[in-house]
A and B are shown apart, each in its own frame.
Chain A
Amino acid sequence: MAIYDVKPAQPAPVNHHGVFHWLRVNLFKDVKNAILSLLCIYLLYLTVPPLLDWLFFSATWSGSQDEVTKDGARWIFIIEKFDQFIYGFYPEHLHWRPLFVAALTVAFIASVKLLKSIKLKIAIILLYPFVSIIFIYGGFGLEVVETDKWGGLMLTVIVAAVGIIASFPIGIMLALGRQADNMPVVKTLCITFIEFVRGVPLITILFMASVVLPLFFRDGLDFDKLLRALIGITLFQAAYIAEVVRGGLQAIPKGQYEASESLGLSYWQGMILIILPQALKISIPNLVGSFISLFKDTTLVLIIGLFDILAMVTLTNSDTNWLGYEVEGYVFVTFIYWVFCFSMSQYSKSVERRFNTELK
Chain B
Amino acid sequence: MNRTKIALSLAAAVVLIPLTASADTLETVKKKGELNCGVSTGIPGFSATNSKGVWEGIDVDFCKAIASAVLGDANKVKYVPLTAKERFTALQSGEIDVLVRSSTWTSSRDISLGLNFAGVNYYDGQGFLINKSLGVSSAKELDGATFCIQAGTTTELNLTDYFKSQNMEYKAVTYDTSGQTIDGFKKGRCDAVTSDASQLYGLRLKMDKPDSVMVLPEIISKEPLGPVVRQGDDGWFNIVRWALFATLEAEELGVTQANVDAMMKSDNPSVKRLLGTSGDTGKSLGLDEKWAYNMIKQVGNYGEMFDRNVGKGSPLNIDRGLNNLWNNGGLMYPMPIR
Contacts and interface: CB of A to CB of B under 8 A. Distances in A.
Interface of A: 80-81, 83-84, 88-89, 92, 148, 201, 203-204, 207-208, 210-212, 214-215, 217, 219, 222, 225, 302-305, 307, 311, 314-324
B3 A323 contact: no
A214 B95 contact: yes
A302 B22 CA distance: 28
B80 A148 contact: yes
Given A148-B78, A214-B93, A305-B82, A323 B53 contact: no
Contacts of B89: 211, 214-215
B53 A320 contact: no
B269 interface: no
A212 B10 contact: yes
25 contacts: A83-B53, A92-B53, A204-B10, A207-B7, A207-B85, A211-B85, A212-B10, A214-B93, A217-B93, A219-B22, A225-B95, A303-B7, A303-B83, A305-B81, A305-B82, A305-B86, A315-B49, A315-B81, A319-B50, A320-B45, A320-B315, A320-B316, A321-B315, A323-B202, A324-B205
B80 A305 contact: yes
Interface of B: 3-4, 6-7, 10-11, 14, 17, 19, 21-22, 41-45, 48-53, 56, 78, 80-83, 85-86, 89-90, 92-95, 202, 205-207, 309-310, 314-316
Contact of A307 (B81, B90, B205, B314): B81
Contact of A80 (B51, B82, B309): B51
Contacts of A317: 42
Given A203-B4, A302-B41, 6 more contacts: A215-B14, A219-B22, A305-B86, A319-B50, A320-B48, A320-B310
A207 B11 contact: yes
A222 B96 CA distance: 11
B14 A211 contact: yes
B293 to A, nearest CB: 29
A321 B42 contact: no
B50 A321 contact: yes
Contact of B7 (A203, A225, A314, A324): A203
A215 B17 contact: yes
A319 B83 contact: no
A358 to B, nearest CB: 42
Nearest to A151: B53
Contacts of A210: 86
A84 B3 CA distance: 30
B208 to A, nearest CB: 9
Contacts of B14: 211-212, 215
A111 B204 CA distance: 54
A318 B42 contact: yes
A321 B48 CA distance: 11
A89 B48 CA distance: 12
Contacts of B22: 219
A130 B11 CA distance: 35
A311 B50 contact: no
A83 B315 CA distance: 23
A54 to B, nearest CB: 15
B49 A316 contact: yes
B7 A315 contact: no
B95 A318 contact: no
Given A215-B89, A323-B205, A318 B43 contact: yes
Contacts of B52: 92
A219 B14 CA distance: 18
B41 A307 contact: yes
Which 7 A-B pairs rank lowest in CB-CB distance, beginning with the nearest?
A318-B42, A318-B48, A324-B206, A214-B93, A315-B42, A201-B3, A323-B205
Given A320-B48, A320-B316, A208 B80 contact: no
B44 A320 contact: yes
A311 B316 contact: no
Nearest to A314: B42
Task: Kindly name the residue among B48, B314, B315 whose own CB sees the greatest number of chain A CB atoms within 10 A.
Answer: B48
B3 A204 contact: yes
Contacts of B92: 215
Contacts of A316: 42, 49
Contacts of B315: 320-321, 323
Given A210-B86, A321-B315, A311 B7 contact: no
Contacts of A88: 53
A210 B78 CA distance: 18
B269 to A, nearest CB: 39
A215 B95 CA distance: 10
Nearest to A152: B53
A207 B89 CA distance: 11
Contacts of A83: 53
A201 B44 CA distance: 31
A316 B51 CA distance: 8
A89 to B, nearest CB: 5
Contacts of A208: 10
Nearest to B205: A323
Nearest to A315: B42
B30 to A, nearest CB: 15
A319 B48 CA distance: 6
Given A212-B10, A323-B44, A305 B83 contact: yes
A210 B86 CA distance: 8
B51 A81 contact: yes
B93 A222 contact: yes
A149 B101 CA distance: 19
Contacts of A324: 205-207
A315 to B, nearest CB: 4
A332 to B, nearest CB: 16
A203 B6 CA distance: 9
B48 A315 contact: yes
Nearest to A84: B53
B296 to A, nearest CB: 23
A304 B53 contact: no
B3 A203 contact: yes
B19 A215 contact: yes
Contacts of A319: 44, 48-51, 56
